[in-house]
Amino acid sequence: MTDAATLLVETTPEQTDAWWKSAVVYQVYPRSFADSNGDGIGDLPGILHHVDYLDELGIDVVWLSPIYASPHADNGYDISDYQAIDPSYGTLDDFDRLVAELHRRGMKIVMDLVVNHTSDEHPWFIESASGPSSPKRDWYWWRAPRPGQLGGDRGAEPTNWESFFSGPTWEFDKSSREYYLHLFDRKQPDLNWENPEVRTAIYSMMRWWLDRGVDGFRMDVINLISKDPALPDGEVQSPSGLGNGFPHFSYGPRIHEFLHEMHVEVFGSRGGDFVTVGEMPGATVEQARLYTDPVRQELDMVFQFEHVGIDQGATKWQHVPFDLLTLKRSFMRWQDGLAESGWNSLYWNNHDQPRIVSRFGNDGRYWSESARLLAAVLHLQRGTPFVYQGEELGMTNVPFASHDDLRDIESLNYVSEALRDPDVTADSTLANIRRVGRDNARTPMQWSAADNAGFSTGTPWIDTNANYITINAASQRGIAGSVFEFYRSLIQLRHDEPAVAHGDFRMLAPDNPSVFAFTRTAGTTQLLVIANFADAPTDLENVEEMDLESWSGSELLLANYAPTAADMLLRPWEVRILRRYCL
């Protein structure tokens, strides 16, 4: 075993006490989870109807994507009122009932906090946009056109930054002859966290939700809230001619100050029963270690994007073939980097990511086997696992037939911008979207083989994946060997076996191109996870640095194939989890 392949995790009583370290979180995307009234849009009563399903799965925490009032330019991530429920989802009374039912079953609830930006229909922005003399003008980022330029012309924007959703990050306001900043859609203007009034209003809103029973927050793109006030141009890297502003707004000069202030102002006197998760695109291991160091009092864990970017080039639309060695090295960096302080979040899927079984697995012949393998490899690492709705069923990507099937603003903007290039075809853009588009994650939850997958009695806001006839909850619950029951077993193992949440992590055979193997050790208990990321069998006798003879007679805790006498042969997409006790 080489030093580079050995990752030792030291644990202390203070580190192991946090309840969320042995918890499993389930993300609900309300618009697509369950529709109770037949309008084609999921809602809070629909979620309430399926609380027992989440309880059966063994979930500890439910994270709700935004349910706030919104014009839905970005499906709720453009908020017009932070303290109101969007009517399409229900009422505050519905929300209170959901909180009560989750708490009654021992589950907690986490809200999605979107405070890098608001909707342009939020009263704060409406007031800010009323004119340069508005008392809330400085609540957002307003700037004049470049000197000597006419506002509204391409190139006159205050900086050359490119939006995450394509095009410039600046929108021209004709009435005031100034631009406002939006890192995402033009209907999502960025809040100016430099203004203390903005921060005070946000902290007050957060306390209001905690008082209502919320147990924490998942914070959307929270590392973007501190910008370099100089707003310098970015290096031009895009065919569009726009610049990369990311270095100037992704890890700004006051980010740690803002996060610590939030922690003190919102959670300071409330004890340790809450959890905070920061979504941080582009965060490095070193940065995450600071964000999640409990001594610094900023965040409990972060969502980083390194492992879900390994199949992408300069943009998400540029494909790089999947490489297991790259994936393993990424996981090793994060397991090692947050070993002594900080904490990992573990995820494959969420509302922004394509379905993992289609992405890193085999969603054809070995659909079930690879879905279960991917689950085991993730859940047995050190960190808090997140399950995205439908992941526990092995839901797959969608073969969208045309651009008319799409609903996601990121994808639609990408198509519009890409087709400016005469060498880009509509078919090529659709192929990219089928592979990595966000709508892959947003098709309705597949409850049964009934019409619309049992999601709605009406017409769903986005079409269901046609494979719901065979891939659905009704066909898997209680069925031995199903993806659902495998997830149940993994979650139960985390609850029952301390080595899963708190054990040391050691990667085995780090240079093997098809085998992902590691151990977890706590006291005298040791777990071994061995997974074959291949459509062909792998003979473990040919895998270097694997002392499997010492595991002879160990207990097979979980596997995605029936036991076999050929212990040294891993079948296609086979995973085994073994346990032994050492003196």
Pick the catalytic residue: 120, 171, 215, 279?
279
Active-site annotation holds for 541: no
Instruction: Report the amino acid identity of residue 447.
Output: W
Question: How far is it, in rounded angstroms, from Cα 246 to Cα 234?
Answer: 8
Residue 523 CB-density burial (10 A; 0-12 exposed, 13-18 middle, 19+ buried): exposed
Active-site annotation holds for 220: yes
Question: Buried (b) or exposed (e) across 383-408, using 16+ Cβ within 10 A?
Answer: bbbbbbbbbbbbbbbbebeeeebbbb
Going through 5-145 in order, the beta strands assigned E by DSSP cover 25-28, 61-64, 68-69, 81-85, 108-113, 142-143
Count of positions (residues) in the chain: 583
- Are the C-beta atoms of 191 and 224 separated by less than 8 Å? no
CA count, 13 A, side-chain hemisphere, 534: 15
- Are the C-beta atoms of 142 and 131 separated by less than 8 Å? no
Question: Buried (b) or exposed (e) across 182-204, using 16+ Cβ within 10 A?
Answer: bbbbbbbbbbbbbeeebbebbbe
Question: How far is it, in rounded angstroms, from Cα 40 to Cα 415?
Answer: 26
**Other Cβ atoms within 10 Å of 500 Cβ, number:** 23
Question: How far is it, in rounded angstroms, from Cα 534 to Cα 542?
Answer: 15
The angle, 0 to 180 degrees and rounded to 10, between the axes of the packed helices 285-292 and 255-262 is 30
* Rg of the chain taking only CA atoms, in angstroms: 24
Angular region, 215: left φ>0, alpha ψ -120 to 50, beta rest: alpha
Pick the catalytic residue: 171, 220, 392, 504?
220
Angular region, 323: left φ>0, alpha ψ -120 to 50, beta rest: beta
Mapping DSSP to helix (H, G, I), strand (E, B) and coil, where does residue 154 land?
Answer: coil
**Any idea which residues carry the catalytic annotation?**
220, 279
